[in-house]
Amino acid sequence: MHPMSEPYEIAPELPKPRLPGEVVVREEVADLIDAITADLLVQAKACVRSFGDFHLALSGGSTPEPLYRRLMYDPRMRGFPWKKTHLWQVDERCVHEDDDLRNWTMIAGLLLEHSDIPPEQAHPMPVLEADGDERYEQELREALEWREKGHDRLDYVLLGMGTDLHTASLFPGSMALDARAGRLVVFNDGPGVVPPKRMTLTFEMLNASRFLGVMVTGEGKREAVARLARGGLDTASAPVRGVQPVGGVLRWYLDGGACPAGG
Ligand code: 6PG
């Protein structure tokens, strides 16, 4: 057969670091975003079909910004069920609403303003309220409680990872790592926490999720990924190790830059 008649080239498999869960590697961030958006669409449609809605929790940080942008302009995402989507936060900085440090400003600016998510399905963390953690917990419970037992959980959670191996606002040695059983959302402050004070979903809430994606890109994260792949770390020093879904999928999304040589 003439080589020109091949419909597409099969890209060689990139070496995958040994991380807990499934690992997706794409050399370029744009291709990695293709993989994430495809997963998101499949999950969203399946959940809407089964439960009538889709509960999505998003992280802040700089890594997911191009992904959020893409969700809005990629023609393949036109069928995304935004009207049936609830948008939650993984974590937030306890700063005033106008502060640029607010994750919600970025998430709302990129997604809410350009999709048709009904306003009552947008759930910013009430970080300035003294009992904001309990209120958010209550909001989550109420939004999910009508689902059948076992399905009352977040459907897709997008996490990032810091070079210190924190995820969400669960920092090494910080108090939120030891949140009491039954707590789904807590404030995190004091030793270990990179200021300002944060609000964060707990491991209990994260690990109950149906699907946890961890997006890590760029050479700046390569050493951290290598440390994690070498193993032998505990949750206290490497909180991302505490991400262990009970009955859900854990899928890492890495670009070539974040991948240590030799996998
Ligand atoms: C945040 C996060 C946090 C983030 C990592 C990675 O609000 O900052 O939710 O856990 O995902 O710190 O951040 P970058 O993507 O900016 O590297």
Delimit the domains of the chain by residue range: 17-258
Distance 15 CA to ligand 1 centre (A): 25
Tens digit of each residue's pLDDT (9 = 90 or more) over 184-217:
999 999 999 999 999 999 999 999 999 999 999 9
Q: What is the mean pLDDT of residues 11-23?
A: 87
Q: Which residues of 169-188 are buried (b: 16+ CB within 10 A; e: fewer)?
A: bbbbebebbebeeebbbbbb
Q: What is the mean pLDDT of residues 233-253?
A: 97
Strand partners, 33: none
Complete edge-to-edge strand list for the sheet that includes strand 156-159: 22-26, 249-255, 211-216, 156-159, 54-58, 85-89
Checking if the pLDDT of 129 tops 70, the result is yes
Checking if the pLDDT of 3 tops 60, the result is no
Q: Residue 146 has what pLDDT?
A: 87
What backbone phi and psi angles, to 5 degrees, belong to 65? -50, -50
Q: Tell me the three state secondary structure of residue 233.
A: coil
Q: Residue 73 has what pLDDT?
A: 95
Distance 94 CA to ligand 1 centre (A): 15
Checking if the pLDDT of 1 tops 50, the result is no
Tokens of 255: 């670009």
Q: What is the mean pLDDT of residues 134-157?
A: 94
Compute the chain's Rg from CA coordinates.
18
| Beta carbons of 171 and 164 less than 8 angstroms apart | yes
Q: What is the mean pLDDT of residues 30-56?
A: 97
Q: What is the mean pLDDT of residues 154-158?
A: 98
Q: Residue 9 has what pLDDT?
A: 58
Checking if the pLDDT of 238 tops 70, the result is yes
Which residues does ligand 1 sit against, CB inside 6 Å?
Answer: 59-63, 90-91, 103, 160-162, 166-168
Distance 12 CA to ligand 1 centre (A): 30
Complete edge-to-edge strand list for the sheet that includes strand 185-188: 91-93, 198-201, 185-188
Mutate to test the pocket of ligand 1, among 167, 174, 206, 243 (most ligand atoms within 8 A of CB): 167
Q: Residue 182 has what pLDDT?
A: 96
DSSP string for residues in 93-128: E-S-TT-TT-HHHHHHHHTGGGS---GGGB----TT
* The CATH fold of domain 17-258: Rossmann fold (3.40.50)
Checking if the pLDDT of 122 tops 50, the result is yes
Atom of ligand 1 nearest to the CA of 103: 7
Question: Greater confidence, 9 or 83?
Answer: 83
| Beta carbons of 172 and 237 less than 8 angstroms apart | yes
From atom 13 of ligand 1, which residue's Cα is the shortest distance away? 61
Per cent of the chain over pLDDT 90 is 89
Checking if the pLDDT of 8 tops 90, the result is no
CA neighbor of 17 nearest in space, from 220, 252, 233: 252
pTM of the model: 0.94
Tokens of 28: 């370029």
Checking if the pLDDT of 7 tops 90, the result is no
Checking if the pLDDT of 32 tops 50, the result is yes
Mean pLDDT of the chain: 94
